[in-house]
Structure 1
Amino acid sequence: MISRVVPRWSIRPLAGFAAAWFAALAVGGALAAENYPPVKLPDMTGKGRNIQRAMRLLAESTPEKRNNVRILFYGQSITEQGWTRLVTEDLKARFPHANLVVENLALAGYASQLLSRTVETDVVPFQPDLLIFHVYGAHDKYEDILRMVRERTTAEILQQNDHVTKTEHLTEEMDPGKVPIQSGNWDSFMNHNWLPALSRKYGTEFCDQRAIWKQYLADNRLEPKALLRDNVHLNAHGEYLMAECVKAYLRYDPKLGPSPAEGWVTAGQPVRRGDSLKLEFEGTAVEVPIQGASNLTAEKLRIDGLPVTEIPTLRGFTRALAWPGGKWKGPVKWPAIAPIRSQTPLLLEDWTLEVKRADAEEDPKKMKFTFTLIGSKTGPDGSGRSDQRFVSNSGRVVIEPESWGIPYALMLAQVKPVPETLTIQWKAEPRYLEKVGLQTISEVHAPSWIWLVQGLPHGKHTLEITQDASSIGELRVHRPPLTPAK
């Protein structure tokens, strides 16, 4: 199994997140389940229907055919907690022959208002088969996240609602008609009106862990605080319960029939001529078995008659991370700027902003910065201020004033005070296969499929592999279910 778990974060107004998060991280907790009462699950008939493609790939994996399954945990500090490791280990134990590629890219302190800005750098390049998702925050930005995932990926989504944190949640109003947004009952509105409605609209699998949580508390005569470290974060008992809730939905049941995602990922039917290959398809991405792609390089790939190296949409930015310097030896994981756009084609290069404080302001919300921009290939590309829209000389970097988040990112990383100068760095990376490394192929549990291209505009395309395609037995085409609005 390939498993890389990178931390993430939780709830409420942004300024209040940091103290609770630091306290939560300071408290350790065993993840063993044997000391906790077992979870009595409700009738799970029909549950898991909308994630059956990912579960089928797991269940059908054998020593001879190890299916790739890419799983991404995404959200805030709740998603950074130990329950995600319990879920990962459970999947590894239940499906030992699958190639599990697991990432946790959650960002502590990032409510939906901020997390919606990072989908482009986090979720889209990873192209998960399964997204396990939870976030607090503005309801409309929550929907923006689901919509972007549906427009840019073929991921199945396990959408968690909120766990129980207050005694009054146990008797809350659950009739969606009685908790419109105007009701003032935010928790009931989100969990019993808005989130279920979004699940139906976007075809997610709705993990109603809130209902399981209430029943567990009642069955074991527990108060909500018995499962919490503070007013929202889970203790070890709570981590156990949340893992059990999620695991209950991660089930393969052939009686449920194929999920919608089976129609979003289809087998390509290429035309062969010697050791070349041509595929006409409709979609945004194409996968290839890694064993058949061992000799492929970007120079042998064309889309719509153009080399992939010349197609602007097949390049994208990574997270823009701050390097505070001084005692801080590495970058802060929270984006210092998000999103960063472009209005002219990108080069594959490293970008650096040298940033200076522009005033002596102590209020993080009012801080201003000046900067100069340099691209490793573009060279010096302009200068600007954080309170003004910036378009670089080349047009390859566009930053809006609302995209700046240096003080908040440094606060979450406990970098104090905000330094007078710092560096922000990011990359423009390829969204196409450059070359398959020999080490990747030789790994026992190496990915069985890799991306040829991803990030194409929605529509019909022609893929050509001009050499070394004779050993490629099949291709997979990905067509996201929603088309972005123009």
Structure 2
Amino acid sequence: MKKKIYYILLINLIFLGVSCQTPVEKIKYKGIDRTLCLLQHSTEEAPNNVEILFYGQSIIGGMKTNILIDSLRAQYPFANITFKHKPIGGFTIPKLIKTAEHDLYHENPDLIIFHAYGGIKEGLYDELVKNIRQNMASDVLLLDHHYVWNKPSTTLQSINEAHDRDSKAIQEIADRYDCGIVQVRDQWKQYLIDNNIEANELMGNRIDPNVHPNDQGNKLLRSFVFSKLIQEPEAIYEVQKDSIRDWHEFKSQNNLSTNFTGNWVQLITDPSKNNEVKLEVLIDGKKPSAHKSNYYISRPTSGFKSWMPSILKVSLGENLPQNEKWTLEIFDLERETNTFSFKLKGNITGADGEGNSANDFTSDSGRIKIKKEDFYIFENERIFKNETPENFKVHFSVEPIVKDVLVLNEKNNRYNVFRGLNSENHEIQINVLSGNPIIEALLINQAFLNNNE
């Protein structure tokens, strides 16, 4: 009888009796089937780690995702559920496609839950979802649009016609890139009909036109997402069939090296036997710090008296980056021309050049690049009605995803050891610096789509 193979990130990484020599047809799991199986197949003896990342704009930001997570933990008491909450209120798809470079692609969650407005006609919504699929192995769950409220009725009709069209397009994008989808719109409309209430009962303060759900509306929204996360998967997840994830089990602890194809690699250990073990990881003979793909830039800090970032996107330059904190100081603000001057300084590099927001900028060291259209200082002023003071400082950091030396402990059983930009061929060598580790396996991820798809 065919056995169900459960994905378990614990000490016994075996295929439950399935011979390693037996040919297995690989498949690409669609929707959120893998996440559902991780949740539903967790047991007290074999809990699964499930990380969820929430992204988008204010609808995600205001839905109180911590309550949703509490409900999931109650539903799945043996799953180790963690989450990150990264939405930016007011940021539609044309902005999120830029900030995603800071917020998403260095992460490796099991599931991304996403909602945002805009970008449909321009193809940017499609582009953002495709970018996620080409950079990450995560399951993706898209939410289409709820039913908003506005006055007069003609305005409301126009908004809802647009949201109907966009929701249909989001469904098509979900189908195109094999994402899961929560059909919020259809369920929201049906709820209004079933309860004989108007749209304003679920929105804002029920008096002033609003796009944001009130507490009752957010509770309803959470219930739709929760229902999706407790449904039965269409396909049972079996790790040996997964076409974008591979296990490599080391036959000997004396030879911790192998070749692999992927863009994200994690080390799986027995935490009970690895306290204070130190390991050195080499990729293609080089330390992780020698690979540009090992670095990302944190989201730049917010504008003056704002929650929106001061810069939409800061990029790594051509030269090899390093772990460093950066400060961009703004001066000579000219509001008639919407320009300002600035100087950049790194806590290691030191002074690294001056520029003007009217021009693209590359730092003197060649480590940092900013396009002129990505400065968001005056947009913050316009939205929040606060003038940016002279010598206002914007901070961001260049940070490594993987450390050159790993210190294992009793709390963790998986560690990032490599992150690449593409699913390419590499060699990994793990050297033991101290201790007697028990290394169970490597979990090798490829992006859901390669760059040619």
The TM tier, using the shorter chain, reads 0.7 to 0.9
- For 2:134, the equivalent position in structure 1 comes to 151
Runs of 5+ unmatched residues, structure 1: 1-47, 174-183
Deviation at 1:340, TM superposition (A): 1.2
1:273-288 to 2 correspondences below 5 Å: 274=254, 276-288=255-267
Deviation at 1:66, TM superposition (A): 2.8
- For 1:189, the equivalent position in structure 2 comes to 165
How many Å separate the matches in 2 of 1:469 and 1:50?
Answer: 40
- For 1:426, the equivalent position in structure 2 comes to 396
> Are the aligned partners of 1:304 and 1:461 in contact in 2 as well (CA < 8 Å)?
yes
How many Å separate the matches in 1 of 2:367 and 2:376?
Answer: 20
- For 1:477, the equivalent position in structure 2 comes to 444
Deviation at 1:102, TM superposition (A): 0.5
How many Å separate the matches in 1 of 2:119 and 2:275?
Answer: 46
Counterpart AA for 1:373? L
**Which of the numbers 55, 68, 74 marks the counterpart of 2:36?**
55
2:176 is the alignment partner of 1:165: no
Greater shift after overlay, 446-455 or 157-166?
A: 446-455
> Are the aligned partners of 1:56 and 1:252 in contact in 2 as well (CA < 8 Å)?
no
Counterpart AA for 2:449? L
Change (3 A) 1:252 1:267: farther
- For 1:103, the equivalent position in structure 2 comes to 84
- For 1:264, the equivalent position in structure 2 comes to 244
Change (3 A) 1:373 1:49: closer
Deviation at 1:360, TM superposition (A): 4.0
How many Å separate the matches in 2 of 1:145 and 1:129?
Answer: 18
Greater shift after overlay, 262-271 or 202-211?
A: 262-271
Q: Secondary structure at the match of 2:260?
A: strand
How many Å separate the matches in 1 of 2:171 and 2:211?
Answer: 21
Percent of matched pairs sharing the same residue: 26
Deviation at 1:269, TM superposition (A): 3.7
Q: Secondary structure at the match of 1:358?
A: strand
How many Å separate the matches in 1 of 2:407 and 2:257?
Answer: 24
How many Å separate the matches in 2 of 1:156 and 1:133?
Answer: 11
1:20-35 to 2 correspondences below 5 Å: none
How many Å separate the matches in 2 of 1:132 and 1:99?
Answer: 18
TM score, norm. by length of structure 2: 0.82
> Are the aligned partners of 1:68 and 1:448 in contact in 2 as well (CA < 8 Å)?
no
- For 2:297, the equivalent position in structure 1 comes to 317
2:105 is the alignment partner of 1:131: no
- For 1:406, the equivalent position in structure 2 comes to 377
Deviation at 1:165, TM superposition (A): 1.4
> Are the aligned partners of 1:355 and 1:371 in contact in 2 as well (CA < 8 Å)?
yes
Deviation at 1:322, TM superposition (A): 4.5
How many Å separate the matches in 2 of 1:418 and 1:77?
Answer: 24
Greater shift after overlay, 454-463 or 51-60?
A: 454-463
Change (3 A) 1:474 1:131: same
How many Å separate the matches in 1 of 2:103 and 2:133?
Answer: 14
1:320-331 to 2 correspondences below 5 Å: 320-322=300-302, 324=304
- For 2:184, the equivalent position in structure 1 comes to 209
Counterpart AA for 1:397? I
1:444-463 to 2 correspondences below 5 Å: 446=411, 448-463=413-428
How many Å separate the matches in 1 of 2:170 and 2:310?
Answer: 29
> Are the aligned partners of 2:142 and 2:180 in contact in 1 as well (CA < 8 Å)?
yes
How many Å separate the matches in 2 of 1:52 and 1:398?
Answer: 39
Q: Secondary structure at the match of 1:283?
A: strand
2:355 is the alignment partner of 1:384: yes
Runs of 5+ unmatched residues, structure 2: 1-28
| CA deviation map 1:79-129 (0-9, x unaligned) | 111342332111111112222120110000100010110112111122211
Change (3 A) 1:256 1:322: closer
2:285 is the alignment partner of 1:302: no
- For 2:14, the equivalent position in structure 1 comes to none
Deviation at 1:61, TM superposition (A): 2.3
Deviation at 1:436, TM superposition (A): 5.5
Counterpart AA for 1:353? L
How many Å separate the matches in 2 of 1:96 and 1:228?
Answer: 33
- For 1:70, the equivalent position in structure 2 comes to 51
Change (3 A) 1:305 1:415: farther
Change (3 A) 1:157 1:267: same
Counterpart AA for 1:202? Y
- For 2:8, the equivalent position in structure 1 comes to none
Structure with bigger strand share is 2
CA RMSD of aligned residues (A): 2.9
Q: Secondary structure at the match of 1:350?
A: strand
Change (3 A) 1:196 1:451: same
